[in-house]
C-alpha cells in the first residue's frame, strides 16, 4: 500500500489473476524495511511451498533472494520487476524501464509550467538504478526547457533519509526547509517517501511530482506523475508464463520497456498543468519514441 511502485506492481498481478481465474497472495518478508536477503527468500519459499506457479518480486533489493530461489525452485517461474537476469536461469524474467524518458518529460513539464526552483528526493540512497535514471532524466528535461525559455533553473537534490523508501519526520523536515527557502516543486522518487514530501508540500502550499503510478488521487499537491507501466509489465509477464511464450520473450532475458512500448509517460488526463498543453506533450513524446530526443541514463 505504498501508493507507488509496490502497489502498482501488485495491482497488475491482481488484474491478471482476476481476468484468468487464478488465485493470488501477497507475501511480505519479515522485518519490514529492515528485511534481509534471507527474509525475502523465506517469503518466496513460502509462496512456492503454498503452490505458487509464478512469483512476482518488485525492486532491486529482491535480487539476491530471487537468484537463490529461482535456482532452487526450477519448476516455478519468477518475474523480477526493476531487476536484472541471472545467466543461465531460464525460469527468471527481468523487466526494466527507461525511467530517464518519463523523468525527462516531468522535468521539462515543470519548467514549461513556470517553475524555476526544483527539487528531487530519491529513494535507495543513490544506489537504486531506477531512481537514478528518473533523476538523470528530470535534470536533463528541466535543462532543455530552461534553454528553450531562456530562464535560469535551480535544482536541489538529495538521497538522504530515502534509503529505505519509507516516510520519515527527518525527510519531511528537509523537504519543508526546501519549500520555505523557495523550492516550488519536488520530484518525489522513492515509493513511500512520497508521504513525507506531500506532507511538506501541503504545509507550504507547494507542489509535488509523483512517480511510477498516477499519484494525483492521493494528494492535491501533485501536479503530474512520471509513469512507468509496472502493473502492465507484471500482467504481460504473467501472460507469457501461461501462454507458451515465456521461453521466447522472457526467460533468462532483460526486457526493457520505454516510450516506444508505451510504457512510460505522464498522465495527461489528470495532470494540473496549465502552461504546457497535451498536444505539445504528445509531440515531444513522439520525438522520444523516434529517437529525435534521446536522453541517456548516464
Predicted confidence at residue 298, as pLDDT, reads 41
Residue 9 contacts residue 81 (beta carbons within 8 Å): yes
CA-based end-to-end distance of the chain: 31
For residue 70, how many C-alpha atoms fall within 13 Å in the half-sphere facing its CB? 27
For residue 282, how many C-alpha atoms fall within 13 Å in the half-sphere facing its CB? 5
Whether the model pTM is above 0.85: yes
Predicted confidence at residue 228, as pLDDT, reads 95
Distance between CA 197 and CA 199 in Å, rounded? 5
Q: Within the chain, which residues score under 70 in pLDDT?
A: 295-298
Distance between CA 245 and CA 248 in Å, rounded? 5
Going by the DSSP 8-state scheme, the letter that residue 89 receives in this structure is -
Strand (E) or helix (H) holding 165: none
Predicted confidence at residue 294, as pLDDT, reads 82
SS3 call for 256: strand
Predicted confidence at residue 6, as pLDDT, reads 87
Q: Pick from 104, 94, 88, 61: which is nearest to 256 by CA?
A: 94
Strand (E) or helix (H) holding 217: none
Bridge partners of 186? 119, 208
Question: In the block, which residue shows the cell 526547509?
Answer: 177
Bridge partners of 267? none
Give one DSSP letter per residue of 177-196, joined into a string: HHHHTT--EEEEESTTHHHH
Amino acid at each position: 500500500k505504498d501508493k507507488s511502485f509496490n502497489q502498482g506492481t501488485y495491482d497488475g498481478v491482481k488484474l491478471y489473476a482476476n481476468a484468468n481465474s487464478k488465485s493470488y497472495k501477497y507475501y511480505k518478508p519479515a522485518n519490514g524495511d529492515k528485511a534481509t536477503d534471507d527474509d525475502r527468500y523465506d517469503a518466496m519459499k513460502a509462496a512456492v511451498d503454498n503452490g505458487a506457479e509464478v512469483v512476482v518480486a518488485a525492486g532491486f533489493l529482491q535480487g539476491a533472494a530471487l537468484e537463490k530461489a529461482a535456482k532452487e525452485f526450477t519448476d516455478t517461474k519468477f518475474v523480477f520487476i526493476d531487476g536484472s537476469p541471472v545467466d543461465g536461469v531460464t525460469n527468471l524474467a527481468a523487466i526494466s524501464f527507461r525511467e530517464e524518458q518519463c523523468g525527462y518529460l516531468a522535468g521539462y513539464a515543470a519548467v514549461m509550467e513556470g517553475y524555476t526552483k526544483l527539487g528531487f528526493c530519491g529513494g535507495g540512497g543513490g544506489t537504486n538504478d531506477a531512481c537514478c535514471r528518473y533523476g538523470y532524466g528530470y535534470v536533463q528535461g528541466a535543462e532543455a526547457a530552461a534553454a528553450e525559455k531562456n530562464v535560469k533553473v535551480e535544482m536541489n537534490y538529495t538521497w538522504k533519509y530515502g534509503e529505505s523508501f519509507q516516510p520519515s519526520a527527518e525527510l519531511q523536515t528537509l523537504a519543508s526547509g526546501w519549500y520555505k527557502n523557495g523550492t516550488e516543486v519536488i520530484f518525489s522518487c522513492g515509493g513511500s517517501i512520497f508521504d513525507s514530501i506531500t506532507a511538506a508540500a501541503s504545509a507550504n502550499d507547494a507542489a509535488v511530482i509523483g512517480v511510477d503510478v498516477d499519484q494525483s488521487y492521493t494528494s492535491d499537491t501533485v501536479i503530474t506523475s512520471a509513469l512507468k507501466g509496472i502493473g502492465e509489465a507484471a500482467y504481460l509477464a504473467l501472460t507469457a508464463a501461461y501462454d507458451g511464450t515465456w521461453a521466447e520473450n522472457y526467460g533468462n532475458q532483460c526486457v526493457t520497456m520505454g516510450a516506444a512500448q508505451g510504457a512510460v509517460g505522464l498522465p495527461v488526463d489528470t495532470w494540473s498543468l496549465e502552461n504546457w498543453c497535451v498536444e505539445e506533450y504528445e509531440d515531444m513524446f513522439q520525438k522520444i519514441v523516434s529517437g529525435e530526443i534521446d536522453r541517456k541514463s548516464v
